[in-house]
Amino acid sequence: MNIQVGDIIKLENNNFVTADLLLLSSSEPHSLTYIETAELDGETNLKVKQALTVTAELGLDLQKLSDFNGEVKCEAPNNKLDKFTGTLTLHGEKFALDNEKMLLRGCTIRNTEWCFGLVIYAGPDTKLMQNCGKTTFKRTSIDRLMNVLVLVIFAFLALMCFILAIGNGIWEYDTGYYFQVYLPWADGVSSAPYSGFLMFWSYVIILNTVVPISLYVSVEIIRLGNSFYIDWDRKMYYPLNDTPAQARTTTLNEELGQIKYIFSDKTGTLTQNIMAFNKCSINGKSYGEVYDLAGQRTEITEHTEKVDFSYNQLADPKFVFYDHSLVEAVKLGDAVTHRFFRLLSLCHTVMPEEKKEGNLVYQAQSPDEGALVTAARNFGFVFRARTPETITVVEMGETKVYELLAILDFNNVRKRMSVIVRSPEGDLTLYCKGADTIVYELLDSSCGPLKDET
C-alpha cells in the first residue's frame, strides 16, 4: 500500500495500522476505537482511542470524507510513543490534538468494525520507525581474542617478510652475482628498492599459511556442534509443555558459561503473570478459608468442594473459589458485600471483549486488575461495557449504567486508583483501591477498630 501524508484510509477489525493516523471516525458509539499495542510496548490489553466530535460526524459517508479540508499542525517526527501535540483547523475553528486521538503504526484494530484515519506520519517518520535503532553485531570474548591474535600474526608476517626482503637484497648484492655462472639472469631489475618491494610480496605469498584462516571455520563448526548438544540437553527440557531447549543462534554459545550477573524483573518471573482471587476481608470479616463441621480450618486440596456459580450465566467458568459463605452473603443482599464487589466492578481500567454472546474476555493492563474484575463478575457484579462517559455493570441480573465523572489513575506517587461515578439513582460516589499502607493513612479515625480487625 502506497500511503502518503494527508491520505484518508479505512481500517477494519484486526487490520494492522500501517502509518501514524489521526482518528476521524469509527463504527463504535462516540467514535471509539479499540487497539492492541503489543507490537509497540508489549502490552496485550486493549486500549481505547476516541475521535474528535467534529470529525466523528463524518461517519462512513465517503463524500464527506473526500470533502474533508482540515489542516493539521503538529510536532516534528519523534520517537515518543506516549506523546503527541498538535491542532486541527476545521471550518475556521481550532481543536487540540493529543495522543488519545492517534493510531500509531504497529497497532492492531480490535473490536471495531471499521474506522477512518488521516495520515500524519508515514514511512520512516512514524514513531515506530523512529524507535528502530541500528542493529549491532554481537561478538563474544573468543571472537575478540581471535581478531587480536590474527592481527598480531599479520604484523608478525609483515615484519618477517620485511626482514627477508632486506636480507634478500643484501644477499643478491654480495653473493647473488656469482650465481650467474650456474643460472644466468634474464633482464634483471636495476632498482634495488623495486627489487625489495617485489621480494616482500613474494615472501607474503610464500608464508601466507602462517595466518590461520581455517581457525574461523573450525570455530564455527565447533559452535554448530555445541548448539546440537544444547538442543539435546535433557536437563533443559520442560516436559509439561513438551518444550526442549532451542539454540536460536550459534554465535554466543561460549558466553553462556561466563555470565556473572543476571538482572531480572521479578514480576512475572516468580508469578508467571498469573493472579487468582483467593481471599478477601470485607468489613472486618475474612473470606476464602475452608472450615470443617467442628469449626477447624482445613487445607484446600483438589477434593475440596468448589463454589457453584452456575446460577450466574455470565460467570467465568475458569474462576475457582471455595468459601461458600461469601456467595451466601451476596445472595442474601448484604449491603457491605455488595459495595465491595461494586467497587471491584467499577474502579479499574479493564476493557471488555465479547467474542460471542455471553463469552466475556477482559483485557487488563495488569493481571491483578483482571483477577479482581473477574471475581466481581462471578459473584454477580459483571462489568459489561465502557465508554469515556459511562460504565455498564450487571448487578445481580440488573443492568445499571454509571456515569463516569473522573478517573484518577494509579501511579507510583499516589499508589492508589480512584473513580468518581454517578449511579442511576443520582448518588455521587468516589471508589478507591490501592496499597494498604496508603489507604490506611486516609481512613477516618472512627475506622480504627475495623482496621485492627482487618
How many CB atoms lie under 10 A from the CB of residue 446? 7
CA atoms of 414 and 433, how far apart (whole Å): 11
H or E stretch covering 84? none
- Is 273 within a domain? no
Show the domain range for 294: 280-453
**Is residue 46 domain-shared with residue 159, that is, in the same domain?**
no
Q: Was 267 annotated as part of a binding site?
A: yes
- Tell whether 106 is covered by a domain: yes
Quick one: cell of 401? 449504567
pLDDT at 129 over 70: yes
The three grid cell numbers given for residue 204, joined into one nine-digit string? 607474503
Among candidate residues 212, 236, 252, the one where a domain is terminated: 212
Packed helices 367-378 and 335-346: angle between N→C axes, nearest 10 degrees = 140
Residues 82, 161, single domain; the answer is: no
Q: What is the pLDDT of residues 147-191, one digit of tens each?
A: 999 999 999 999 999 999 888 877 777 766 666 666 666 665 566
pTM above 0.75, yes or no: no
Q: Does 197 belong to an annotated binding site?
A: no
Query: Residue 412 domain-assigned?
Result: yes
Task: State which of 186, 212, 238 marks the end of a domain.
Answer: 212
Q: Do residue 28 and residue 121 come from a single domain?
A: yes
Q: Is position 36 annotated in a ligand binding site?
A: no
Q: What is the pLDDT of residues 311-345, one digit of tens each?
A: 888 888 889 898 888 999 999 989 999 999 999 99
**Residues comprising the chain, all counted:** 454
Calpha distance 359→226 (Å, rounded): 48
Q: Is residue 86 assigned to a domain?
A: yes
Residue 143 catalytic? no
Q: Give residue 450's pLDDT.
A: 84
Query: Are the beta carbons of 14 and 130 closer than 8 angstroms?
Result: no
Q: Please state, in angstroms and rounded to a whole number, the distance separating the CA atoms of residues 249 and 254.
A: 11
Q: Using one digit for the tens of pLDDT, what is the confidence trace for 249-271?
A: 887 788 777 778 887 766 555 55
Residues 442, 317 share a domain: yes
Please enumerate, as own/partner, the contacts of 53-62 that have beta carbons within 8 Å and a separation of 24 or more. Answer: 54/90, 54/91, 54/93, 54/95, 55/23, 55/24, 55/25, 55/31, 55/88, 55/90, 56/24, 56/25, 56/26, 56/30, 56/31, 57/25, 58/24, 58/25, 58/116, 59/25, 60/25, 60/27, 60/114, 60/116
pLDDT digits (tens, 9 = 90+) for 1-25: 688 999 999 999 989 999 999 999 9
238 lies in some domain = no
Lowest-confidence region among 183-192, 193-202, 416-425 = 183-192
Q: Are residues 147 and 126 in the same domain?
A: no
Whether residues 117 and 168 share a domain: the answer is: no
235 in a structural domain: no
220 annotated among ligand-binding-site residues: no
The tally of domains found in the chain comes to 3
If you ran DSSP here, which 8-state letter would residue 72 be given? E
Inform me whether the pLDDT recorded for 420 exceeds 80: yes
62-116 pLDDT, tens per residue? 998 888 888 999 999 998 888 899 999 988 899 999 998 999 999 999 888 899 9
429 in the same domain as 375:
yes
pLDDT at residue 255, rounded to an integer: 79
Residue 43 among known ligand-binding residues: no
Tell me, yes or no, whether 313 and 439 share the same domain.
Answer: yes
Same domain for 95 and 154?
no
> From the centroid of its chain, how far is CA 10?
26
Q: Is residue 223 part of a domain?
A: no
Residues 305 and 422 in one domain: yes
Of 374 and 140, which is predicted with more confidence? 374
Q: From 162, 188, 212, give the residue that closes a domain.
A: 212
The answer to the question of whether 134 is labelled as a binding residue is: no
Residues 115 and 174 in one domain: no
| b/e sequence 176-214, b meaning 16+ C-beta within 10 Å | eeeeeeeeeeeeeeeeeeebbeebbeebbeeeeeeeeee
Same domain, 346 and 383: yes
Domain assignment of residue 293, yes or no:
yes
Q: Tell me which of 187, 242, 265, 452 is the catalytic residue.
A: 265
**Cell reading at 229:** 548438544
